[in-house]
Amino acid sequence: MKITCYECGREQKEAAYQCECGGMLEISHDFTGLDLEQLERTFRERLSERMTPYASGVWRYKELIHPELPDRYIVTKYEGNTGLYSADPIRRFLGIRQLWLKAQSENPSGSFKDNGMTVALSHGRSLGYRRFSCASTGNTSASLAMYAALAECESVVLVPSERVSANKVLQTLAYGARMVRFDGTYDDGIRFYERHGDELGLYICNSINPFRIEGQKSIVYELAQSLNWTLPDWIVIPGGALSNVTALGKGLNDLLRLGMIDRLPKVALVQAEGASPFHKMMAGAGEELVPESSPSTVASAMNIGNPPSWRKARDFLKASGGVTCSVTDEEILAAKRQIDGCGIGCEPASASTVAGVRKLIAERTIDKEETVACILTGNLLKDTDSLGMYADKKVGGSLEGSVGELTAEAVLERLGSPA
Ligand SMILES: Cc1ncc(COP(=O)(O)O)c(C=O)c1O
Ligand SMILES: N[C@@H](CCOP(=O)(O)O)C(=O)O
């Protein structure tokens, strides 16, 4: 395993997040010598592991993620192992032949961050760190605080004072994090760490830490394994800091290189219109990202104007024929209503995927005969404010008004006869 600069290629020391040239870091593995059949058998056999690190849907793939890490450093809550659903109401809503929803929202802290955080935090422990940190819109901080508490370590987090979900803030605090609220956005928090992280002696677990990306690759490994190593035509994913799409691309390239899949699916990256600097760059065929200083969307997890991983994301999407699009807050909430109402549920950022599929079908980029998997990144309870924001607030048809005396007849009168 080697850590190099994504920009200049220079090899790096272990604990760095950024090369001297300012470039992001990347981990590369030498997979030579790995026996494909043996690997597939191992990944299958580990599905029946219980209470060992290999019962995790991340560490099941340790050989492809962090082969050198001694097991004693692993901090796991058996993350991954999330549901893959074929939700008919959503499929009908989109009018598409086949749709899968991969619910990373079912992770232990309620978001896809756990896939990456277990690896970053475990690696930091192996380096001797006891104090872990991040800047966050709330999900990264909740995940970090949960794993740090499990490892009996400290967590220190920077969270903007506005435009974040109160649920995520409270969850982070409940796990014992020390929190600094500040005026600004996630982007300002990252800039602070790039300047001061080392001097503060903190181990930073944002996605500028390349071990986060290694862990997040497991999402697509697990998706591929669940579908017997045959991926759908499209994978659709939301984009904020762009760590998830970067990890998706890296994981897909690993699987192709190893011969575990025989073609790359197309990837669609969806941003919220009010925070879409990456989509604007891609749509305008530009090569350089122009940061947005005041990103603003109901999908608060994606209130990001200067995504650190944009170069990696751009290179993957361009090389693989991927696309980007943006959707409005209204479109996000309409899609969220469908996803919640079919019993799966998600937070607004995740719903942008289904909204994006709808738009890409309308634009004829996705054909209705193609197969699609959407990555649902965060849990419905992560943002309860957004539940009151549906255009039509009657989600399941709430019984408005009083039923008077509570009798079966009175309730039935309000409900009507069963369908
Ligand atoms: C629930 C949720 N969905 C989507 C995103 C966007 O993912 P990324 O920042 O990796 O692009 C985030 C935050 O990062 C998130 O918390
Ligand atoms: N939505 C994220 C912001 C991106 O953070 P990172 O972990 O990819 O650096 C959050 O939950 O903080």
Residue ranges per domain, the chain?
A: 1-30, 84-110+212-385
Residue 257 has pLDDT above 90, yes or no: yes
Which protein residue has the closest C-alpha to ligand 1 atom 15? 301
Mean pLDDT of 365-374: 98
Mutate to test the pocket of ligand 1, among 114, 214, 302 (most ligand atoms within 8 A of CB): 302
Residue 184 has pLDDT above 90, yes or no: yes
pLDDT at 14: 61
- Residue 416 vs residues 153, 395, 399, 402, 413: alpha-carbon distances, Å: 55, 17, 11, 15, 6
Mutate to test the pocket of ligand 1, among 105, 112, 186 (most ligand atoms within 8 A of CB): 112
355, 332 contact by CB (below 8 A): yes
Residue 396 has pLDDT above 70, yes or no: no
CATH architecture of 84-110+212-385: 3-Layer(aba) Sandwich (3.40)
pLDDT at 338: 95
Kindly give the number of the ligand 2 atom that is closest to the alpha carbon of 243: 8
**Ligand 1 centroid to 192 CA: how many Å?**
20
Q: What is the mean pLDDT of the chain?
A: 94
d(CA 72, CA 67): 13
Give this prediction's pTM.
0.96
Kindly give the number of the ligand 2 atom that is closest to the alpha carbon of 136: 12
Kindly give the number of the ligand 2 atom that is closest to the alpha carbon of 111: 11
Residue 68 has pLDDT above 70, yes or no: yes
Q: Give the pocket of ligand 1 (CB within 6 Å).
A: 111, 139, 238-244, 301-302, 347, 349-350, 377-378
402 pLDDT band (50/70/90 cuts)? Answer: low
Counting Cβ atoms within 10 Å, is residue 227 exposed (0-12), middle (13-18) or buried (19+)? middle
Mean pLDDT of 108-119: 98
Ligand 2 site, residue 138, Cβ cutoff 6 A? yes
Mean pLDDT of 285-296: 93
What interface predicted TM-score (ipTM) does this complex get? 0.99
Residue 412 has pLDDT above 90, yes or no: no
Q: Could you tell me the sign of the dihedral formed by the alpha carbons of 332, 338, 340, 343, in that order?
A: negative
Residue 245's closest CA among 112, 383, 378?
Answer: 112
Ligand 2 site, residue 353, Cβ cutoff 6 A? no
Counting Cβ atoms within 10 Å, is residue 381 exposed (0-12), middle (13-18) or buried (19+)? middle
pLDDT at 399: 55
Kindly identify the ligand whose nearest atom is closest to the C-alpha of 312.
1
Residue 383's closest CA among 338, 316, 333?
Answer: 333
Residue 259 has pLDDT above 90, yes or no: yes
